[in-house]
Amino acid sequence: MRSTWIVIFCAWWVPSLLFSQEAGSRAAFTRGGFVGAKYAAMGKAAEVIVDDVFAIYWNPAGLVALKSKEHLTAEEIRSKAKKGDVSAVTEDDLIRFSDEEGPRTVIQIGASAALLDVEREAGFSGIAFTAFKGVVGMGVYGIQSLNIESRDESGNYVKSIAYRGGVGYVSYAWISGITSIGVSMKGLYETIGDITYTGSGVDVGVQTEVVPFLRVGCMVSDIASGLKPIKEYEYIENEYDFATPTIKVAVALTSRESDFVLAITGVRKLESKNYELNLGISYALADSISLYGGLNNSYFTTGISINILNIECSYAFSYDNVNSGYNNMVSVLVEF
C-alpha cells in the first residue's frame, strides 16, 4: 500500500514542484519559456516581437520574418523598377541581379541552454528556412531535473527520482494580407521516475503590424494537447489526460529607427482564474549590441546580445518563479 501512495504522489507532486505556477495543466512543462535568451531577458513578452528560429516555440507566426531576408528575383527587381518602387530594392539584390534568377533560401539555426534554480536544466535547438511561399521550422525543447526527492504519504523520504519533459515541433508560417499566421504541430514526451507518457498538440499564432510602430499578436498554445502512459502501469490510469490551453495577447511599440522596443503580453491559463502580465524592453546600443530588461509576472529579468556578422549570441538572467532563485541562460543564432 505504501508503494501505491509513492507512485501516485510522485506523478502529481513532481510536475507541480518544477512548475509551481503552472499546476493544473497536464503538459505544464511546455510552458517553461526558456527558449532564446533575449526573449527570456525581456520578461518572456516574446509573442509579438519574436522574428527568428525561436518563434517555433514562442509564436510560429514570427517565422515569417525570414521571408523579408530573401533576395528579390531578377523579375521582381524589373517589376519594381517599372513601378518606380526602387526603395524596396536593396544593394544586395542588385549585386545578385545577374547571378541569381530565383530567390535566396534563408536558413537560421538556433540553440539555447538554461541552468535553472531547483536543480533544473532546459534546452532548445531548431532550424527554420524559407520554403513553399512561407517558412518551415523544426525544433526540440526539453527540460529535466535528475535528483528530485520522492516521499510517501507521511512525508518520509523514500528515494530520488528523475524528471524529463520534451516537445518536438514542426511549424509552418505564411502571410495573409498584413497578417502573419503560424501553426506548430507538437509531439510530447514526459518521464516521471519509471513512468513514461507521450502525447501531441497544436499551437496557433498570429502577428499583425497595425502601423509601422505598432504590432499586435495572439498565441493559443496546447490546443488539444495531452499525454497518455505508454503502457499499463499499476495504480496509474491508462487514459489520455488533456492539457489546458493558454491564450496570450501581446502588443509592441517600436521607435522610428526600431532601436527601442516595448512589448507587453497578457497571459491567461484557462485552468486558472488569474492573469499573468509580462513586460519587456530592448534598446540597441549599436548595430551589434542590444540590452534587454523586463518583468516576468513581477519577476525581474535582464540580458544582452551581441551580433557579429551572421551570428547572434545572447545571455539572460532572471529570478526563478518557483522559489526566487537565480536562472542563467545563453543562446546562439546563426543565419545562412
Helix (H) or strand (E) holding 317: strand 311-319
pLDDT of residue 5 exceeding 50 = no
**Backbone phi, psi, residue 92, to 5°:** -60, -40
- Mean of the per-residue pLDDT values for the chain? 86
Instruction: Check residue 153 and give its pLDDT.
Output: 72
The three-state secondary structure class of 196 is strand
When pLDDT is averaged across residues 1-29 and rounded to a whole number, the result is: 53
Work out the pLDDT band at 257, boundaries 50, 70, 90. confident
More confident residue, 218 or 76: 218
Work out the pLDDT band at 88, boundaries 50, 70, 90. low
Helix (H) or strand (E) holding 91: helix 91-95
- Whether the CB-CB separation of 55 and 137 falls below 8 Å is answered with yes
- Whether the CB-CB separation of 48 and 278 falls below 8 Å is answered with no
Helix (H) or strand (E) holding 314: strand 311-319
28-42, 69-83, 265-279 — which is least confidently predicted? 69-83
Tell me the percentage of the chain whose pLDDT exceeds 90: 64
The three-state secondary structure class of 303 is strand
Per-residue pLDDT tens for 110-136? 999 999 988 899 999 999 999 989 999
When pLDDT is averaged across residues 304-314 and rounded to a whole number, the result is: 96
- Residue 161's contacts (CB-CB under 8 Å, 6 or more residues apart) are 10, 14, 148, 150, 192, 193
Full-model pTM: 0.85
When pLDDT is averaged across residues 297-322 and rounded to a whole number, the result is: 94
Instruction: Check residue 261 and give its pLDDT.
Output: 97
List b or e across 267-285, with b for residues whose CB sees 16 or more CB atoms inside 10 angstroms: bebeebeeebebbbbbebe
C-alpha cell at 220: 493559443
57-71, 148-162, 242-256, 263-277 — which is least confidently predicted? 148-162
Helix (H) or strand (E) holding 297: none
pLDDT of residue 102 exceeding 60 = no
- Whether the CB-CB separation of 197 and 228 falls below 8 Å is answered with yes
Per-residue pLDDT tens for 179-219? 999 999 999 999 998 899 999 999 999 999 999 899 999 99
Instruction: Check residue 307 and give its pLDDT.
Output: 96
Give the residue extent of every domain in the chain. 2-68+105-245+310-335
Work out the pLDDT band at 59, boundaries 50, 70, 90. very high
The three-state secondary structure class of 192 is strand
More confident residue, 258 or 37: 37
**CA–CA gap between residue 21 and residue 7 (Å, rounded):** 22
Residue 64, burial from CB neighbour count under 10 angstroms (0-12, 13-18, 19+):
buried
Instruction: Check residue 2 and give its pLDDT.
Output: 44
Residue 39, burial from CB neighbour count under 10 angstroms (0-12, 13-18, 19+):
buried
**CA–CA gap between residue 228 and residue 231 (Å, rounded):** 9
